[in-house]
Amino acid sequence: MEKQNWLKEAEETLVRYCGDFSPILIEKANGAYIYTKDGRGILDFTSGQMCSVYGHNHEKIMQAIRNATEESIHLLSTMLSPSVIELSKQLSDLLPNGLDKCLFVNTGSESNEIAIRMAKLSSGGFEVIGFLGSWHGMTAGAQSSTYSYTRKGYGPAIPGNLSIPAPYSYRCPIKHCKNKCDNTCLEVGMAMIDKQSVGALAACIVEPILSAAGIVELSPEYFKRLKELCDERGIYLILDEAQTGLGRLGSNFGFELLETSPNFLTLSKTLGGGLPLAATITSKEIEEDCYSKGFINITSHISDPLPAKVGLAMIDVFINEKMAEKAEKQGNYLKKQLLELQNKYECIGDIRGKGLLLGVEIVKDRESREPNIDLGHRISETCLKLGLSMNIVRIKGMGGVFRIAPPLTITKKEIDLGIEILDNAIRESLN
C-alpha cells in the first residue's frame, strides 16, 4: 500500500528507532481506547507501551499534572519538593523492611542503571548476571544486561556481563524438561557462572515475568533458589518490576507472588501511568554503605516534582480503586476466554502469564511447537485493521508471542470485544 502523506512527512525528519512506524496516526487516547484523526476507536490491549496501566488519561493523573503546573515542574537536582518526599514515604509504606530508600528518575533504563551502579559500588565487584531474553533498558549498563535482539551491531557490551538461561518451560533452554521447570536450568546456569566469573560478582538482575522474552514466568520455588544462590555468592539481587508493579499481576508487586524480597526493586512503566517516572528502591544498609563510599548519580530530571506528583496520584488510584483486585479478576476472565480460543485454534500453542500480563504463543501445530512467525504477524496486522492493538514479541526460535497487557480498568465488555476481534483476526489470517 502507498504510504499516507503524514507518514511520508514523518520519515523525512524522524529517526526510525524501532523498524517502521505504525501505519496509523493517533490523535488522542482515553481509557482503554486510542483514536485516529478520523475518530476511529482502537481497543488498546497494550496500555500504550505498557505504561498507561490505569487507562489512558485517567482523570486523577490529569488533575495531578494540572496541579503540578501551578506549583513546580523542575528543580535543581539537589533540591527536593514535598511531592518527592511524600512519594518516597508512600512507596516505602507499601513495601517490606529492606526496601526502604527510594531514588526517582525518568525511565526503567535509568532505574536499572542506578541499581547496577549501587550494587557494584557496595559489593566492590563489577560482574552482573542477566537472563537470556531479558530486557532491562537501552542505557549502557542496562543494555549490557539485556539479552534480546538489541545487542548486535553496537560494539562491545560493558565488561563483566554474564548470562544464564531463563526458565522458559514451553521451550526448555537446556532441552531438559517440558512444560514444568524443575530448576535444572538455574543450577546449570549458576555452575557456568562460577566457571566464567573472575571473582568479582556484584549483581543479578531479573524480572518476575520476562516480558520481552515472550512472557516467561518465574515460580516462587525458582526465585527462592535464585536468591539462595545469590546470597551464597554475595550477589545483590535486583528485581526489575517495570511492567509488573502496582497491581498488574493481581498483587501489589510481583515479588509478593514470588514470596521473596530482592535487595533492589526497580519500578518504572506502571509507576508513571504514562508519564516518565521510575524508581530505584533498596535497603537503608545498602544506601548508607553507598553514601559512605561517595555514591553519585546526577541527571537533569532526577527528583523532579511534576512526575512525583503523578506518582502520588498513581498510588491513590492503585489503593482506593483496588487495582490489584481488578487485575486478578479481569485477568482470570481474559485468560479463560483465551483458553477457549486455544481449544478452537491449533495455532495457539501456549497461554501463560498472570493477572493482566498474558502471553499467547503462535505455532504451526501444538505437537511440533514449530514457530509460525508469519502467521503471528498477519494476526497482529489484521487485529489492528479490525480495531484492536496487539503487541507481538518477535524472538528467534519462537513463534510470535502476543504480549497482552490491557489497562487494569478494562471492562468485561471490552475484553469480550477484544476476544471477538482476535477470534476474527485468527480465522481471517488462517484463510
Question: Which are the catalytic amino acids?
Answer: 135, 207, 240, 243, 269, 403
Long-range contacts at 142-149 (CB < 8 A, ≥ 24 apart): 142/108, 142/109, 142/112, 142/113, 142/116, 143/109, 145/112, 145/116, 145/205, 148/212, 148/213, 148/395, 149/394, 149/395, 149/396
The 10 Å Cβ neighbour count of residue 26 is 15
- Any idea how long the chain is? 431
What is the rounded CA–CA span in Å between residue 277 and residue 283? 20
Residue 278's region, left for phi above 0, alpha for psi from -120 to 50, else beta, is beta
Range list of β-strands (E), 187-263: 201-206, 209-210, 216-217, 236-240
CA 277/CA 65 separation, integer angstroms? 13
**Would you tell me how many other CB atoms lie within 10 Å of the CB of residue 140?**
13
CA–CA dist 64, 286 (Å, integer): 32
Question: Helix, strand, or coil here: 411?
Answer: coil
Phi, psi dihedrals of residue 16, rounded to the nearest 5°: -85, 100
Closest of 198, 208, 220 to residue 249, by C-alpha: 208
Residue 336 to residue 341: CA distance in whole angstroms: 9
Measured CA to CA, the distance from residue 357 to residue 408 in angstroms comes to 10
